[in-house]
Amino acid sequence: MTGLPFPLAAAPDETAQERGRKLFAGQAAFLKGVVAMSGMPPANRLEVCFAGRSNVGKSTLINALTGHKALARASNTPGRTQEINFFTLGNTHYLVDLPGYGFAKAPVAVVEKWQKLLRAYLSGRPTLRRAFVLIDARHGIKTVDQDILTLLDKAAVPFQVVLTKTDKVKAAAQDAVLEQVRGALQPHPAAYPELVLTSSETGDGIPTLRSIIAGLA
């Protein structure tokens, strides 16, 4: 695997896994939803953000990472929530949930406002260490995902692809998706060269992702 471009992230060793466990064992809480840069909380702690198209499983993944079933709530109408949601993790981290993209029901003006806020956020948060771009393991990277990848390139924000819902994909199909994802990431200079496979249902990959986030400190 390691000879491939964008290999799978290795499972953490005991020390890294324990560091990740301790970080996410801390208290996690919703802080605020932000609709303008003026409402951003102080950039006084390390933060990571989660991006992905609607229904990719962002809220479920954040809940799995923190061990809180209802910390992040999915909108009943995908694409309607246009806030950047900040969660505190202990006294040291922000977890930032970006609105799902690829929606068809939001008005054009709303989409433009959201894109402007997203650009400002990505280019204006000095404590943002990494963006995790969630990709459905059943579908791979779609055209709609390319916009956020290009935006992250332009903002010079390192991003790492996390494949979700891997429990719903057979091994042969997963290999084909991984090949497609690796090819799609080649032109993106901001792409971190490791992929993370996760399932919020089974817990696969959750310790790995926790340890990656803990290791950014």
pLDDT tens digit sequence for 63-104: 999 999 889 876 555 554 678 999 999 999 999 999 888 765
pLDDT reading at 202 higher than 80: yes
- Give the integer Cα–Cα distance in Å for 181 and 176: 9
Q: Is the pLDDT of residue 3 over 70?
A: no
The answer to whether residue 217 scores a pLDDT higher than 80 is: no
pLDDT of residue 127: 96
Domains and CATH numbers, the chain: 14-214 (3.40.50.300)
Angle (CA) 140-154-93 rounded to 5° is: 80
Residue 80 DSSP SS3? coil
1, pLDDT greater than 50: no
Q: How many CB atoms within 10 Å of residue 36?
A: 11
Q: What is the mean pLDDT of residues 143-147?
A: 91
Average pLDDT, the chain: 91
